[in-house]
Structure 1
Amino acid sequence: AVEGRLDWRTLLWRFLTPTPTDFGGLDRRFVHQRLYLEALEEWNVRVHIAVDTSGSIGSAVLSRFLGEVRAILRAYPRTQAQLYYADAQLYGPYPLELEGPWPRPRGGGGTDFRPFFRHLEAQENPLGEILAVYLTDGYGDFLETPPRFPVLWVVAPGGLADEGFPFGEVARLWD
């Protein structure tokens, strides 16, 4: 049987978009067109994006991961996003903007997901929610207990099977 899968951007949209009942008045961007559409309230979400830079990630997959990160920024321009590179160590955070230079990837060693999640667990975030997105092949050391925030794993083709991830939602990049 063929397994149905949602595109990972669809899953991300579910995390980043308020529910349809979160309206807060008219969206002024459309009033000049005599369209009186209700505006969704702003929802303050900080997206922390980790890109696996371990030795098992080749340059083609790494380029694809970074392209996907740019797609997040294009699709959600008002989202606060921070980039991390991670192998067995964590590098970052680096504030992300669609335009402007991005830091060069660092890494090349083994894979340990724990430093990223431990760093986020230590964050105080009274003004909004944290969402973690991890682009990886899935082969590495996981936390013993799930973090207190949502996690979206975006897995490269040929990566770890879905049931190998002990927490979070898993989405696949297409070949």
Structure 2
Amino acid sequence: MVYGFIKQTGGEAKIRSAPGKGTTVELFFPSLAQGAAATPIPARLGVGQGGREHIMVVEDDPFVRENLTTQLRALGYRVTTAEGAAEALARLPEDVDLLFTDVVMPGGMNGRDLATQALTLRPGLRVLFTSGYSRDALLTEGRLPPGVQLLGKPYRRHELAAKVREVLDAPPGPLP
């Protein structure tokens, strides 16, 4: 996630590690030239269209979960939350439209396992995964099959709004 943030700002990250010597991490952020003005940030980026659907958010980090819930509710969605997969399955609403789950979670059940079980309970449920790991890493490690919907962390509000709307508007289907 830190690497993604650094790259989004136009910076660089250097990591050096040696056995018995430790690890050094250097973060380089772009600076403004002497006397240069900062580029103004638009007052409002196009956030995209929200909706009235019901979303189940499964995220083990309380800060991320609360932030995500706040953003989705601001877009008009109804939101139910869970800290982990077991809690999500126990509380899975009858009228849920979208399962938005982290891929890597503690507790023995990952996001893919959760999605598979949730689809058994709620056929037609749409699934959106999120992770700080790259899509390639998740595919290589077998944590996700190819072709699933994934929103990489960190993401901006307009990216969240667009991806959620895209997944909700797509026809439902089983995990590939």
TM-score, normalised with respect to structure 2: 0.36
Structure with the larger RCO, 1 or 2 (CA within 8 Å, 6+ apart): 1
Structure whose alpha-carbon radius of gyration is higher: 2
TM-score normalised per structure 1 = 0.37
The structure carrying a bigger strand percent of its residues is 1
